A and B are shown apart, each in its own frame.
Chain A
Amino acid sequence: MENPLHPFELHPIWHLSLFGLDISLNKAVIMMWVVIALAAGLLIMAASSRRFVPTKLQSLAEILVEFIRGIILDTIGKEGMRFFPFVATLFVFILFCNLLGLIPGSYTVTSQIVVTAAFALFVYTMSLVVGFLFHGVKFLGILIPPGTPAWLLPLMMPVELISQLARPLSLAVRLFANMTAGHTVLAVLFGMVLSLPLVIGWLPFAFSVAINGLEVIIAFIQAYIFTILTCVYLGDAINLHGHEAQAH
């Protein structure tokens, strides 16, 4: 049977190098370009017809905007609307990567931990920068949960430090692991379909169809979680120990 992890391997299609830096094109890079082109094209097309009674595409785009606006208002508050372009871009890119990866023969960019880790590190670094910009040195107080008795500080500071450092890791691993696991299961099932006789071979085929449906839901959910956690981290940095978001 074929190695189920084979679909994740990347081989350079076109060797390129820039000042000794390897920038060879491979399937993942091309897939990312396709995702960007498709997402940008669809959204620009949706926004080009600004009708009062929206077209189908326009109402989809409006649902998307309302959805992301709801997430930001729920988790950060009004202050967070200035991050709307960033959060919306992140959500649309991850969602399109996840969904287009389900098309047979394409490639799931988010199944590469390099990609998800780059996103996660960028988001986390941004939340740190935003925190220090908003609160200055007082932002270090994020390591001290409010209402901690002084004798607990030696225990709470390392615990808080670890829980902060765990954020980018959990962000990166969650998306990567969900995508990789789903596609591996699909590959194993398809491998069974090919290697079993027809009498029993229809069973894994039926399963693979069902799991494909599940994968569509997971593609949405994972994009949603990545976005909402981005907002939560930004919100923690902006409303230090505050509860403005809940007051909304």
Chain B
Amino acid sequence: MPPSRDPFMAGLGQAVRIGTELLAALIVGGGLGWLADTYLFASGPWGVVAGLILGAIAGVLNAYRAAQRWTDGGSGAES
């Protein structure tokens, strides 16, 4: 029995992932926006605003993709 299919470990592993997945994308998005504001365009706060929005989208997308792996191989796989 390969323990990677142990449902407890696998489930816990997946669950712990989601939180940081959301946060990291938000930080990267905001950071890129801030960089663009300060060093590239001097575009006021708008780079950070756009970056945070894009980061939030990316975070939700990441969390969604991570969650999608749960159903892969299970019975309720939807694509």
Contact = CB atoms under 8 A, between A and B. Distances in A.
Interface of A: 63, 66-67, 69-71, 73-74, 155, 158-160, 162-163, 165-167, 169-170, 173-174, 177-178, 220-222, 224-225, 228-229, 246
Contact of B27 (A71, A158, A169): A169
Contact of A165 (B9, B12, B23, B32): B32
B63 to A, nearest CB: 10
A63 B3 contact: yes
Contact of B59 (A166, A174, A221, A224): A166
Contacts, number: 80
* 9 A-B pairs with least C-beta separation: A70-B2, A170-B24, A70-B4, A163-B58, A162-B58, A166-B25, A166-B24, A174-B20, A169-B24
A209 B68 CA distance: 36
B2 A221 contact: no
B17 to A, nearest CB: 6
A71 B10 CA distance: 10
A162 B13 contact: no
Interface in B21-59: 21, 23-25, 27-29, 32, 51, 54-55, 57-59
A167 B20 CA distance: 10
Nearest to B77: A246
B17 A229 contact: yes
Q: Is the interface of A mostly helix, strand, loop or mixed?
A: helix
Range of interface residues on chain B? 20 to 34
11 contacts: A71-B4, A74-B2, A162-B28, A162-B51, A162-B54, A166-B59, A170-B25, A174-B17, A221-B16, A222-B16, A228-B13
Nearest to A158: B54
A66 B2 contact: yes
Interface of B: 2-5, 9, 12-13, 16-17, 20-21, 23-25, 27-29, 32, 51, 54-55, 57-59, 61-62, 72-73
Nearest to A172: B24
A66 B3 contact: yes
Contact of A224 (B9, B57, B62): B9
Given A159-B54, A170-B24, A70 B16 contact: no
Nearest to B2: A70
Contacts of A163: 25, 58-59, 61-62
A177 to B, nearest CB: 7
A162 B2 contact: no
Given A169-B28, A221-B12, A69 B54 contact: no
